[in-house]
Amino acid sequence: ELFPVNRQSVDHFAKYFTDAGLKELSDFLRVQQSLGTRKELQKELQERLSQECPIKEVVLYVKEEMKRNDLPETAVIGLLWTCIMNAVEWNKKEELVAEQALKHLKQYAPLLAVFSSQGQSELILLQKVQEYCYDNIHFMKAFQKIVVLFYKADVLSEEAILKWYKEAHVAKGK
């Protein structure tokens, strides 16, 4: 038997294929596991946000998952943004969306602040906000207000905003 039951772990598979000169297969396996982990995390986050769990509970859960699955902060911040924005049924009227978004994001700013402690995480969050506002036309006018809200709530630093503005922005929606 090639892989006995007690050795059917990702680490064992990866080591076996790396030793056999098939590092690409080992890397592919790790990427697939990481994608599965992120999907599970996103699903659980959606559930917790829709149930309006306390932010402290969500922070603890996400930190545990990051530690258990060796996920970097930069991977988690994008998931958080997506989950937070999907947790609401947005108003159809453009003039009301900005106000609704700011109220919603103000509630979750402390959660985002915990997971945007690195400059790279802040840049990724800014890019996600930019893409979201560009893809959802009703949010176009809200982009600046969201950035200001995040700055005032210590989610984003001045350095990250300036770096994003000068060089790290996404081409669409600038």
Question: Residue 92 to residues 85, 110, 146, 167: CA-CA distances in angstroms?
Answer: 15, 27, 19, 33
pLDDT at 158: 92
Domain boundaries, the chain: 72-168
- The residues near 13 (Cβ < 8 Å, ≥ 6 apart) are 3, 26, 29
Q: Which of 130, 73, 135, 142 is nearest to 105 (CA)?
A: 142
Residues of the chain with pLDDT under 50: none
Entry pTM:
0.76
pLDDT at 4: 64
